[in-house]
Structure 1
Amino acid sequence: MCGTMLVMVLGLLLGGLILFLVQRNRKQILKTEDGWWGAGAPPADGEDQSIRPFKVTTSDQEIEDLCRRLDQTRPVPSLEESQFHYGFNSRFLEKLVSYWRHDFDWRRQVEKLNQYQHFKTSIEGIDVHFVHVKPRNLPEGAAPLPLLMVHGWPGSFYEFYGTIPLLTEAMEAEQTVFEVVCPSIPGYGFSEAPHKKGFDSVCAARLFLKLMKRLGFHQFYAHGGDWGWLVTTNMAQLEPKAVRGLHLNFVPCQLSLTVLLSLLLGRSFPRLFGFSDVDVRRLFPCKRKLLLEPLLESGYMHIQATKPDSLGRGLNDSPVGLAVYILEKFSTWTDNSFRNLEDGGLTRRFSLDDLLTNVMIYWSSGCMVSSMRFYKENLGQGLHPPHARIPVHVPTGYACFPNELMHTPRLWVEQKYHQLRSMTLMERGGHFAAMEEPGLMVQDIRKFVSIVEKKEK
């Protein structure tokens, strides 16, 4: 009996190895076709491809309407000792709403948003919004490297505001300086929402490739987390020669025989799969860390992947409802132990001004429904869309933050990203890493880029 089991395990290992090697050597390119996402049919004379300046604005009417709605919210008491285990705690919510109503200065935050130049340009029928920051005081003879940074849900381009000054200024003579482009995914923030069904991550990737070319960047680096991980990955699959390097801080595992075997045997034989002590600690026991935790945090995903408009319509009407739904993620996705705190640990990692600025981007643009639809367009294709089976062959760096929603060991990352040049176990930080730890994020981006640039020379 033991001999039979050993043969079966060895057979599975051999089969997994063969499958891994076959997939690794297959250099497929993701295929896509241009679309039209504007209302109605494309104009006969083509679309305007100009790049237009844009400014975030507000008005007395917008602020008065917000205050009226905040004043009319109907509190619901939380259960005793429930902290954040049932969702956003009402006692802390009262303090948050009071701060929002009386102390938060949206006009001042609008000025902060406008400290960098914003633009819009029409691509495939919809206006794409982006922030474009060129370096100041560039050392003589130095050329900045273009860097595209793509956000996720429920974040926004604002997630990267802490990293921009660090990326665009060299603190040391030899440091790489970047020219940063932060777009809003269509349907998020100040990018126009698609007017037709079917706008998924591959479509967003195609639009952002067009955006970068329109800006004159035919080769560039790309960084992404959350949906930004998938959009930038799709960009590398569509045009690997355009993406000089891909830096990620979120890499969900792709289910395969190799993954299943490593989960089955990895705790007993970690070296067989290259698992470090950190991998073992973060992955096992699997039942709790890979099944229970995702179940606790993924209810929103099922709603948004099936009927986003129903819930989204209610959130679009209520600023308090919108804030609760968004900021609950900034609590538990930053550190799941924050569920045990009455304030959700929100002010341990963020300021209320930064949190509410992100909420206000959703509120003022009215983009909550369209941002939620992105889940239906992507997850409605099933768990294995065509791009899921295509490996990435561009140089890749992975910043692995300890409080991310899931841990992905090197073996699993390399299944998809065949040129993994760097993988850093970060000291601290969670899902919203660029906003939580901008210094650590920039440090890792620079490290990865230096490795790629040295290799290319």
Structure 2
Amino acid sequence: MAAKPEPFTLGVPDAAIADLRDRLARTRLPDQAPIPAGAGPWAYGTPADYLAELLAHWREGFDWRAQEAVLNAFPQYKVPLHGIDLHYLHVPGKGPAKGPDPMPLLLMHGWPGSVYEFIDIIPRLTDPAAFGGDPADAFTVVVPSLPGYGLSFAPGQKRFAIADIADCLAELMTEVLGYRRFAAQGGDFGAFTASCLGAVHAEKLIGIHINLLAMRRDLSLLRDDDPAERRYREELDLWLKEETGYQWIQGTRPQTLAAGLTDSPAGLAAWIAEKFHSWTDNDGRIESAVPRDRMLANISLYWFTGCIGASFWPYYARLHGPWPIPDGKTVDVPAGYAQFPREILHPPRSFAARTYTDIRRWTVMEKGGHFAAMEQPAALAAEVQAFFRDLREG
């Protein structure tokens, strides 16, 4: 018999909020290394002056209770599944008065994200008519905190690789919630999970839509006789040299890093904010792409749940285990891809087609980056609706 979900409301104790403010008040910041001429202020990571400004706002201007209320406005649940208490939002769609029920859509975040990524896109997906859209495009949206992340974490629980996450969420959608088949969408590890679902649980999938391609980052796999793949080789080579240090640390010594980031809110904020700066389509300041309080809500959820160490585990599993899409497998379900200009990598379609055999929509977006649902919720929602429109039954 399937496990029974229980309604959930987020409520961080007052003492935990007071403790955070006290720790922020006692922050010891590093000095700023001299930045050479021609280099930007973020050349060595999160600048000391920006971090001081961010921490001051987190302590004195940020209202966690307001952000808590934003999340609690959606129906939330927890269910015992695969050895943990899995947290998820389950938001019914508002479709047409007549016709098929709204399509079930599994919407997944990645690292260093959380369910807070989807605050602005959920209403657009569940009630498109409220935004001038067609009610026939409505989805019933299921948004889990990925196992090991945020409200799907408890100290001492087992760790999850991407394949484990996919198995857990497939059971959530089919056995717990009773959907025979469902759609899936995600970025970052959410995209990896969607791709794994498409490869391993294809019979349960209507299709997948992703805004990051789960491609092996192996320069030897790229063809020299293809100009697009040669250009991607240069992009990937630079990424591997300059941008993957965090992956090696999180993937080889996650416990050591977790000690510092679990104890220091300043360290946690610096670690995560640097990714928001590097990976969003901003004008030099994160806040031009993502509201500061929304980023801090995301960071705060990592802080209050103490989940940062567990959130590293998919990196460790990827470096020490098999690729999330098993060798010899391809993703054969219908796939759509939205390529945002400030995404971390831009594999060409020729390369992607070796993994995704049924690409039905490939859209180059005008603006946005890695946190697409946060940065460009209207554009991403429209893309998801357009892709799944032809896959709806009835």
Question: Same-fold call, TM > 0.5?
Answer: yes
**What is the CA deviation profile of residues 299-333 of structure 1, one whole-angstrom value per residue up to 9, with x for unaligned ones?**
01001111101011110001111011011100001
Aligned-pair CA distance for 1:112: 0.8
User: SS at the partner of 1:185?
Assistant: coil
1:317 pairs, out of 263, 269, 272, with 263
Aligned-pair CA distance for 1:203: 1.0
User: SS at the partner of 1:128?
Assistant: strand
Aligned residues: 385
8 Å Cα contact 1:126-1:194 kept in structure 2: no
Rounded Cα–Cα distance in structure 1 between residues aligned with 2:210 and 2:159: 25
Aligned-pair CA distance for 1:239: 1.9
8 Å Cα contact 1:247-1:398 kept in structure 2: yes
8 Å Cα contact 1:247-1:397 kept in structure 2: yes
2:139 pairs, out of 178, 203, 218, with 178
User: SS at the partner of 2:213?
Assistant: coil
1:406-445 alignment to 2 at 5 Å?
406-445=345-384
Structure 1 residues 197 and 357: CA distance shift in structure 2, 3 A: closer
Q: Which amino acid aligns with 2:225?
A: L
The two structures, once aligned, show a CA RMSD in angstroms of 2.2
Report runs of 4+ in structure 1 exceeding 2 Å deviation. 79-82, 170-175, 192-199, 252-260
Is 1:265 matched with 2:211?
Answer: no
Q: What is the TM-score when the length of structure 2 is the normalising length?
A: 0.92
Q: Which amino acid aligns with 2:343?
A: E
Is 1:302 matched with 2:248?
Answer: yes
Rounded Cα–Cα distance in structure 1 between residues aligned with 2:275 and 2:220: 31
1:215 pairs, out of 156, 161, 177, with 177
Rounded Cα–Cα distance in structure 2 between residues aligned with 1:114 and 1:187: 20
Rounded Cα–Cα distance in structure 1 between residues aligned with 2:259 and 2:168: 27
Is 1:229 matched with 2:183?
Answer: no
Alignment-derived partner of residue 12 in structure 1: none
**What is the CA deviation profile of residues 64-117 of structure 1, one whole-angstrom value per residue up to 9, with x for unaligned ones?**
101110000012231344500100011111111111111100111111110101
Rounded Cα–Cα distance in structure 1 between residues aligned with 2:200 and 2:352: 19
8 Å Cα contact 2:185-2:191 kept in structure 1: yes
Is 1:93 matched with 2:51?
Answer: yes
Rounded Cα–Cα distance in structure 2 between residues aligned with 1:194 and 1:265: 50
1:351-390 alignment to 2 at 5 Å?
351-381=291-321, 384=323, 387-390=326-329
Q: What is the TM-score when the length of structure 1 is the normalising length?
A: 0.80
Q: Which amino acid aligns with 1:190?
A: L
Alignment-derived partner of residue 97 in structure 2: 140
**What is the CA deviation profile of residues 238-281 of structure 1, one whole-angstrom value per residue up to 9, with x for unaligned ones?**
221211010010004336899422xx2223xxxxxxx5xxx88x
**What is the CA deviation profile of residues 9-57 of structure 1, one whole-angstrom value per residue up to 9, with x for unaligned ones?**
xxxxxxxxxxxxxxxxxxxxxxxxxxxxxxxxxxxxx9x8110011111
Q: Which amino acid aligns with 2:108?
A: V
Q: What runs of 5+ residues in structure 1 fail to find an aligned partner? A: 1-45, 268-274
Structure 1 residues 386 and 146: CA distance shift in structure 2, 3 A: closer
Is 1:161 matched with 2:125?
Answer: no
Is 1:395 matched with 2:353?
Answer: no
Rounded Cα–Cα distance in structure 2 between residues aligned with 1:415 and 1:310: 37
Aligned-pair CA distance for 1:170: 2.6
8 Å Cα contact 2:162-2:324 kept in structure 1: no
**What is the CA deviation profile of residues 92-148 of structure 1, one whole-angstrom value per residue up to 9, with x for unaligned ones?**
111111111111001111111101011000112211000111124x43114211000
Structure 1 residues 425 and 258: CA distance shift in structure 2, 3 A: farther
Alignment-derived partner of residue 167 in structure 2: 206
Alignment-derived partner of residue 350 in structure 1: 290
Q: Which amino acid aligns with 1:393?
A: D
8 Å Cα contact 2:96-2:136 kept in structure 1: no
1:286-297 alignment to 2 at 5 Å?
286-287=233-234, 289-297=235-243
8 Å Cα contact 1:186-1:193 kept in structure 2: no
Q: Which amino acid aligns with 2:272?
A: I
Structure 1 residues 113 and 184: CA distance shift in structure 2, 3 A: same
User: SS at the partner of 2:312?
Assistant: helix
Alignment-derived partner of residue 451 in structure 1: 390
**What is the CA deviation profile of residues 421-443 of structure 1, one whole-angstrom value per residue up to 9, with x for unaligned ones?**
11101111111111111111001
Aligned-pair CA distance for 1:293: 2.9
User: SS at the partner of 1:387?
Assistant: coil
Select the structure of larger CA radius of gyration.
1
Q: What runs of 5+ residues in structure 2 fail to find an aligned partner? A: none
Structure 1 residues 302 and 359: CA distance shift in structure 2, 3 A: same
